[in-house]
Amino acid sequence: MGDPGFKQRAFSGIQPSGGLTLGNYLGAIRRFVKMQNAGIYETVYCMVDLHAITARLVPPRELIHNTRELCAGFLASGVDPEKSIVINQSQVPEHAQLAWIFNCVARMGWMGRMTQWKDKSGKNAEGSSLGLFAYPALMAADILIYHATHVPVGEDQKQHLELTRDIATKFNHDYGVAFFPIPGPVIEGIATRVMSLQDGTRKMSKSDPSDKSRINMTDDADAIAGKIRKAKTDPDPLPDNLDGLADRPEARNLVNIYAALAETSPQAVLDAHAGALFGRFKGALSELAVATLTPISNEISRLMADPAEIDRILGRGADRAREITAPILEQTYDIVGMVRQHL
């Protein structure tokens, strides 16, 4: 995993597009914290505000609020700005500068095959922004401007990571250099694809029109309990082994969520709850979810009361980030043949 010739550096980003979900927390942020605390990697975590304006025009005040709230979510979940570099993408201009170079490396055909582009542009490709189409080249730049080797993400980002590897490989090949590492996705654990509470075949997503489909990190205890109580299930009791969940996507999702929150395996959850009907199991899951998430949502509210402190943390993060990104951009420009004045 990763690229052995390079320093072990992890990078990941989340869009400040309003409201962190339990999927973002279990699939990404909690794993950011684990990598930060592993003591093996230098870690860089990013609010990708440039990506957040690709799908629609976001009212400026909303974008500012969402970016600060996402940063608060990172901090409340255990991302430590002393240990990790915590940044807002637009404050580190080298991301967008490298993205331009990558726009000239990536091929239209590669971008057109991205399932996220197809899903988000839908039947309106002509009316979609150029930014939405080029989105994965900016994502590749986010990662490669740090020479990052490891990228913790959920399952849905796998294709974008493959494209990032293709861009790095093509750049290195075209210019005859071994300059960019070929970063590896870190998609591990049982929570890399947390599903909707209303439909176990769809991903839990902040863009789902139904708020009942997801648990938001800012939901209070009553909201969490209510959503779990109303989650779609089936009438059968819980089985005693994983095969018994094969055709029961909603049941499997709740068992997986329980296991992820309790940091145990789905089989261990079945060992403890085999034979239980959903009324009882949902009660236990609610208690666990409320106990895990309420301290985080309280901490988000506390941090949001002092936006200047969040802005200060992001400013400091940008200064630290640029110590890494500015030299990598300069070297990229040298490789590409852009005239610079070297003092």
Q: Is 14 in the site for ligand TYM (CB under 6 A)?
A: yes
Q: How far is CA 142 from CA 87, 288, 309, in A?
A: 11, 35, 24
Q: Is 151 in the site for ligand TYM (CB under 6 A)?
A: yes
In terms of DSSP bridges, do strands 150-152 and 184-186 run parallel, antiparallel, or are they unpaired?
Answer: parallel
Q: Is 142 in the site for ligand TYM (CB under 6 A)?
A: yes
Q: What span, in angstroms and rounded, lies between the C-alpha atoms of 83 and 67?
A: 20
The contact mask relative to ligand TYM for 85-124 (x = CB under 6 A, - = no) is ----------------------------------------
Task: Indicate the residue whose CB is closest to ligand TYM.
Answer: 27
Residue numbers 38-77 binding ligand TYM by CB under 6 A: 48, 51
Q: Is 13 in the site for ligand TYM (CB under 6 A)?
A: yes
- Burial class from Cβ neighbours inside 10 Å (0-12, 13-18, 19+) for residue 216 reads buried
Find, among 79, 136, 84, 146, the residue nearest to 111 by Cα. 136
The contact mask relative to ligand TYM for 172-191 (x = CB under 6 A, - = no) is -------------------x
Secondary-structure breakdown of the chain: helix, strand, coil percentages, each rounded to the nearest 5: 55, 10, 35
Least separation in angstroms between residue 104's CB and ligand TYM is: 19
Identify which of residues 51 and 165 has a Cβ nearer to ligand TYM in the complex: 51
Q: Is 19 in the site for ligand TYM (CB under 6 A)?
A: no
Q: What span, in angstroms and rounded, lies between the C-alpha atoms of 317 and 13?
A: 14
- Nearest 10 degrees: CA dihedral of 45, 46, 51, 57? 140
Q: What span, in angstroms and rounded, lies between the C-alpha atoms of 80 and 190?
A: 24
Q: What span, in angstroms and rounded, lies between the C-alpha atoms of 97 and 92?
A: 10
Q: Is 194 in the site for ligand TYM (CB under 6 A)?
A: yes
Identify which of residues 132 and 194 has a Cβ nearer to ligand TYM in the complex: 194
Q: Is 143 in the site for ligand TYM (CB under 6 A)?
A: yes
Which of the following is catalytic: 7, 83, 170, 206?
206
Candidate residues 30, 147, 203, 282; the one interacting with ligand TYM per rule CB under 6 A: 203
Please say whether the beta carbons of 210 and 177 come within 8 A.
no
Least separation in angstroms between residue 237's CB and ligand TYM is: 26
Q: Is 156 in the site for ligand TYM (CB under 6 A)?
A: yes
Q: What span, in angstroms and rounded, lies between the C-alpha atoms of 34 and 30?
A: 6
Identify which of residues 13 and 317 has a Cβ nearer to ligand TYM in the complex: 13
Which of the following is catalytic: 120, 227, 230, 232?
120
Our answer to whether residue 206 is catalytic in this structure is yes
Our answer to whether residue 120 is catalytic in this structure is yes
Which of the following is catalytic: 203, 212, 227, 230?
203
Q: Which residues contact 107 (CB under 8 A, 6 or more apart)?
A: none
Our answer to whether residue 212 is catalytic in this structure is no
Q: How far is CA 74 from CA 181, 280, 306, 325, in A?
A: 26, 32, 15, 22
Candidate residues 44, 134, 139, 313; the one interacting with ligand TYM per rule CB under 6 A: 139
Candidate residues 2, 19, 73, 154; the one interacting with ligand TYM per rule CB under 6 A: 154
Which residues are part of the catalytic machinery?
120, 203, 206
